[in-house]
Amino acid sequence: MQPISAVIFDVDGVLLDSPHEAAWRLALAGFAEPERLTAELYQALVAGKPRLDGARAVLAALGVPENRADEYATAKQAVLSAMIEAGQFTVFEDAVAFLLALKRRGLKIAAASSSKNANRMMALIVVPGGGWLVDAFDANLCGHEVAHGKPDPEIFRLAADALAITPACCLVVEDAGVGIAAGRAGGMRTLGIARHGDAALLLAAQAELVVTNLLQVDVIQLREGRLIRCHI
């Protein structure tokens, strides 16, 4: 078993409790009844996808003409920007502690999210010991333009290239099934974080390990290539 040399983090739902889901739901007014976008639909259709892909998926599922997807995506971004400006997001403390523990053990760290808002939020988060979360990474691909969104592995492969680490020695940390699928397609190990009772979706996507708190992961064993749970 090869050791794990790098960990690539998605951001929304993994590092940050961001207002994306709420923004998608609020922006749906004028297109369909907002309450029709349930948490389950959001995780299945939107989480981890580029903005326009998510808009198309939601409208198609709710029977709204897909030619309104650009309009919906724009409305969602406006709502999201207002929520970010109002500070309506928080950091997951377990994720930051996990990230810093990995760095202390010499692993390379990358952020790879399709969100163009991820860095904006991470630039406002102070990490223990000082500094900003956005500066904690050895490579940052957030908001990077890619030809294909998840479940295509392009963004994760770009992150591995930026770190100069072979994909087989990279671990992807994701909260969405589409992100787990992208990591697997890129030849990487996968760790699912189920923060919303959605472990079944991550297991269905064949995440190697699924936890509800990243401090449940044995960091020492991870470095050696073994993804196992520890007790916290």
Place of tokens 């609020």: 26
Which tokens hold the place of 216? 């449940």
pLDDT tens-digit readout, 201-212: 999 999 999 999
Domain span including residue 43: 20-85
CATH number for the domain spanning 43: value is: 1.10.150
pLDDT tens-digit readout, 111-156: 999 888 899 999 999 999 899 999 999 999 998 888 888 899 999 9
pTM confidence score: 0.86
Contact call for residues 59 and 68 (beta carbons, < 8 A):
yes
- Give the number of domains in the chain: 2
- Spatial separation of the C-alpha atoms in residues 22 and 76, rounded to whole Å: 9
**Does residue 28 lie in a domain region?**
yes
Instruction: Say if residue 37 is in the same domain as residue 59.
Output: yes
Q: Is the peptide bond before 151 cis (omega within 30 degrees of 0)?
A: yes
Instruction: Say if residue 63 is in the same domain as residue 173.
Output: no
Phi-psi region of 69 (alpha: psi -120 to 50; beta: other; left: phi over 0): alpha
Q: Using only the alpha carbons of the chain, give its radius of gyration.
A: 17
